[in-house]
Amino acid sequence: DAEITQSPRHKITETGRQVTLACHQTWNHNNMFWYRQDLGHGLRLIHYSYGVHDTNKGEVSDGYSVSRSNTEDLPLTLESAASSQTSVYFCASAREGRGVGAFFGQGTRLTVV
Amino acid sequence: GNSVTQMEGPVTLSEEAFLTINCTYTATGYPSLFWYVQYPGEGLQLLLKATKADDKGSNKGFEATYRKETTSFHLEKGSVQVSDSAVYFCALSGGSNYKLTFGKGTLLTVNP
């Protein structure tokens, strides 16, 4: 079955370190997204991509970057981790079409100490 | 810009009670509307959706109707079960824009 997987599922890192969270999907979807989930805020969009070599900033993109070198992967990099980036991160993908929704990964719980 | 407002809860119900979780939205044009469910420790799963006015989405006994006149998409279920305990998110996407805008989520706890 096609799926979307995130790794690692849990990570603890120190302030100032660079961290990369992986996202891999096997649906061949062009559209991929990264969200963060925080209590009281729901899910907020960090970055998104509509195809290879396309990347766009979401509403909370400061301190994060993504790259899209192939259809399957959209890694999220925290350039210099900060305590404010402690959160649960979700990757999602969607095919083209109005109202199709998106498929979500299981999430990565990141703690910055 | 787009926004979604949903009752934040938490909501606590007894098994077999009626459930309503309110959701209203602000968007330009004609958005598609969604309800997602998140069980403990898991990612989000699409529960139901509607893409045009008066459409009713339904799944697993849950229903929601796209009401353009009131910009609402309230989630309902006639008889909840303990297994429905989860966080429910209302969301929208606009036109050919695949980005989802989420509400803050509503925690539902169903007691036996």
pLDDT, tens only, B54-71? 999 999 999 999 999 999
Percentages helix, strand, coil for chain A (3-state, rounded to 5) are: 5, 50, 45
User: Tens digits of per-residue pLDDT, B41-54?
Assistant: 889 999 999 999 99
A73 band by pLDDT with thresholds 50, 70 and 90 = very high
| pLDDT reported for residue B95 | 65
Single out the residue of B19, B38, B51 nearest to residue B89, CA to CA: B38
Residues in chain B: 112
What residues of B are in contact with residue A35 (Cβ under 8 Å)? Answer: 102
Q: What is the pLDDT of residue B1?
A: 83
Residues A98, B46: C-beta atoms closer than 8 Å: no
- A49 has a chain B CB within 8 A of its CB: no
pLDDT of B96 over the 70 cut: no
Query: What residue type is assigned to position B45 of the chain?
Result: Q
Give the residue from B13, B54, B3, B57 showing the smallest Cα distance to B34. Answer: B57
